[in-house]
Amino acid sequence: MRINKKKFIYLISPNKIYPKFYDDLKEVLKTSKVSFFQLRLKKYSIPQKIVIGKIIQKVCKKNGVKFLVNDDPILSKKLNADGCHLGQKDMDIKNARKIIGNKIIGITCHNSVRLAKAAVKDKASYIAFGAFFSTKTKKVKYKATIKILNKVKKLTKTPIVAIGGINFNNYKKLLLNNANLLAISSYVWNNKKYKPIESIKKLK
């Protein structure tokens, strides 16, 4: 899977779909900086996710952004998404492949070279590490450092995603140290200082 260097953002949905969200999403995706959009809604029912997912998917398609579903290969198939993202406690990659076929499957590897090697062996489309910085999006159990990015880059050509508390002040450090994509959520959707479109434009 090839990554366009200019499209280094892997955007994750906000925890809550707010009234102006779809308008903001259209503006943000028009910037041509986003490669992937992940539907991650922990507190919504499957029927709600399907309705929301279909709307987001259309916006993604229009802007050449890959649409992924978090945790749920079955929902990914229902939405005919471009793929899914799996955590270590979710379905394993081999079973997910049986459901969604040869689509994108990314794997959370926390801060572990061992997990990364296993994911690469299972032909993961990308491997995600974090959290690199403190984040309010979810509780941080694992801390990752720049060291892991440099180690893993020597082992594989599989694209690397960095996640966790990424913002305008720290994003360049990750891009300069072998992260191919930066997964961000609260910096865009819950930014007290800037609107979503302003916050994304600051990442150059």
Using an 8 Å Cβ cutoff, are 75 and 52 in contact? no
CA separation, residue 80 to residues 15, 59, 100, 119, 133 (Å): 22, 14, 9, 23, 33
Tokens in use for 24?
């903001």
Query: In this predicted structure, what is the pLDDT of residue 137?
Result: 62
* CATH code of the domain covering residue 79: 3.20.20.70
Does residue 135 surpass a pLDDT of 80?
no
What's the pTM?
A: 0.96
Give strand pairing partners of 105: 84
In a domain, 148, yes or no: yes
The boundaries of the domain holding residue 75 are: 9-201
In a domain, 1, yes or no: no
Number of domains forming the structure of the chain: 1
pLDDT band at 138 (very low <50, low <70, confident <90, very high): low
Does residue 51 surpass a pLDDT of 80?
yes
In a domain, 3, yes or no: no
